[in-house]
Chain A
Amino acid sequence: MELTKDVTLVPEVSQDKLIDLYRQMWVIRFFDEKVDEFFAKGMIHGTTHLAVGQEASAAGACALLDNEDKITSTHRGHGHCIAKGATADRMMAELFGRTTGYCKGKGGSMHIADLDIGNLGANGIVAGGIPLAVGSALTAKMKGLDYVTVCFFGDGATNEGSFHEAVNLASIWDLPVIFVCENNLYGMSGNVNEMTNVKHIADRAAAYGIPGVVADGNDIVDMMNKSHDAIERARSGEGPTLIEAKTYRWKGHSKSDAKKYRTREEENEWKAKDPIKRYREVLIEAGILTEEKAEEIRKSAKKEIEDAVEFAENSPMPTVDDLLTDVYA
């Protein structure tokens, strides 16, 4: 089916993939909403950081990657994991602390990784994953491998020294890495406009001599297009790009956040820009999805999460014997 002229979709993304991305965004949404519910009920311990409202930036930045390509993620990383191909069941099992989880219950929400499909891991240290992504890109360059590394971080991370050091390294070595800053306006409670004095985080790219691109982080099509250009640039050996995805997290920073630092009006303004709703409209307008099909996909995503919960609940707990395994290789 031909796309309408108003919709600039990425030519490299098939219609099946476009539809699957719609499913993926719902899986991300439902996963984090379910986690939110479980935390509220005290069914999961520890802490978590939810990416509800940020589905498009994760799914869009990963849409053109394959299993050889890598990502590094953040404390707010469930969406990135799903976008990179992780399955909800093993993720939920990890949050339940079960042996079937991606980290056998030892990592939890902030450390989910799946090296087999190129997910180099979430990270509990703000900006901690940025140098890792650069190292991954360095491997690709030194070994002559074709993969790219997409490095996710938030607006807050760009005030860390690690960001500066790592982006500079990637730039001077022309490394195949795409820096994706999800600017959701707040580093915990710190407003990006109070904590930085630049109009766009993307402007910071100039300091490293690399392109800085602003993307609508709530528009998966814009995210795909801009990621596509950055990936092409990286693969052709021209070096890194900094993409700033303007977005918003609907929930608080972590499980205990009264959100005193922002208004309900602001939240509602952003909820009106719901990335899933917008993508649904794009797909329907382009004739790729019907209302019925969209609803079917939404329901199947919900079912996927329900199944994931069942899998997690029925999975075994680790034993104390597992405490000291895997400290060293």
Chain B
Amino acid sequence: MREITYSEAVREALSQEMRKNDDVYILGEDIGVYGGAFGVTRGMIEEFGPDRIRNTPISEAGIAGAAVGSALTGMRPIVELQFSDFITIAMDQMANQAAKIRYMYGGKGHVPMVLRTPSGSGTGAAAQHSQSLEAWVAHIPGLKVVQPSTGYDAKGLLKAAIDDDNPVIFYEHKTLYGTKSDVPEEQYSIPLGQAAIKREGTDVTIVAYAVMVPRALEAAKELEKEGISVEVVDPRTLVPLDKETIVKSVSKTGRVVVAHEAVKRGGYGGEIASMIAESDAFDFLDAPIKRLGGAESPIPYNPELEKAHVPQVPDLIQAVKETLNKA
């Protein structure tokens, strides 16, 4: 199969859908000839023109709101936010408008829009350009939240997100943009709410998403050398969450580590851990649920400190061993 980057997979998903459906368009800052802050829309304005690759002023609230209004009136807009930190500026439109319109209006109307945005640390961009704030949006009924960890998943999930009649927050991880995977050329869709078992194992389950998935897979590979069999479950979408696959895996292994890059306190891992604790898997647990997340500080600039902020492969290995009392 053909190997392309995560970034190319996202672009392909966008382009293929835009060729099929005139209602789909992208709006965002510097997405035109510049090609977007991370180059994802590079070359698209040449194919689709400035109406559908709509370069905007630096107005996150305005852009998000315009997308909500145009979605409500029949378009299927895709907003690109340069950095996911900037959702803080677009938050009224996403949390108070997009998420609630259908419910507030008694089931009339819908807001079929996607807000795509790069998240995560690892680029030295420091405290205001490195955050993972997915728990903020996952908390809000009415929004869906997607976090692909591979180019293959990104392409299929983005197609599903664009087809969805609800507002979807679609996180792309900056440090994954350059990673390659086998991605079919034809269009395909991965349903929102379907987890993927990225590696099968029997001793411990790691539930991880976005950049934590490749790290979990690397940890699993290391642990295998010591005879520890790790299963890696990637929920892929946080809302809706595929509880069944997670519960099934934990029921099988009896031990679980939940890992994400976002600050641990109030992070979505707490939600996953509680869900497991409340589920039938509780009876199968042989060790306390272990959570890994970012440190309780802003993301620092210094590369060593930045790395220390976020769980790395050795942290995952350590956590797995702790659940096995082998630390």
Contact = CB atoms under 8 A, between A and B. Distances in A.
A121 B109 CA distance: 11
Given A104-B107, A162-B62, A329 B72 contact: no
B166 A162 contact: no
A128 interface: yes
B62 A136 contact: no
A96 B66 CA distance: 32
A85 interface: no
A132 B62 contact: no
A124 B62 contact: no
A100 to B, nearest CB: 10
A118 to B, nearest CB: 9
Nearest to B57: A168
A131 B65 contact: yes
B266 interface: no
Contacts of B64: 131
A103 B92 contact: no
Interface in B133-174: 141-142, 144, 165-166
Contacts of B141: 327
Contacts of A327: 102-103, 141-142
B105 A131 contact: no
B58 to A, nearest CB: 9
Contacts of A153: none
A135 B67 contact: yes
Contact of B106 (A106, A125, A165): A106
A143 B107 contact: no
A223 B260 CA distance: 56
A105 B143 CA distance: 22
A146 B141 CA distance: 34
Interface stretch (A107-115, A189-197, A289-297): A107-115
B69 A135 contact: yes
Contacts of A139: 69-70, 73-75
Nearest to A102: B106
Interface string B44-88: 000000010000110101111111111111110100000000000
24 contacts: A102-B106, A106-B103, A111-B104, A113-B105, A115-B108, A116-B108, A120-B73, A121-B101, A125-B96, A134-B62, A134-B66, A135-B65, A135-B69, A135-B71, A135-B77, A136-B69, A139-B74, A140-B73, A142-B75, A162-B93, A165-B61, A168-B62, A172-B57, A328-B166
Interface of A: 70, 72, 101-107, 111, 113-116, 120-121, 123-125, 128, 130-140, 142-143, 161-162, 165-166, 168-169, 172, 325-329
Given A142-B51, A328-B166, 8 more contacts: A102-B106, A135-B73, A139-B69, A139-B74, A139-B75, A142-B75, A162-B61, A165-B62
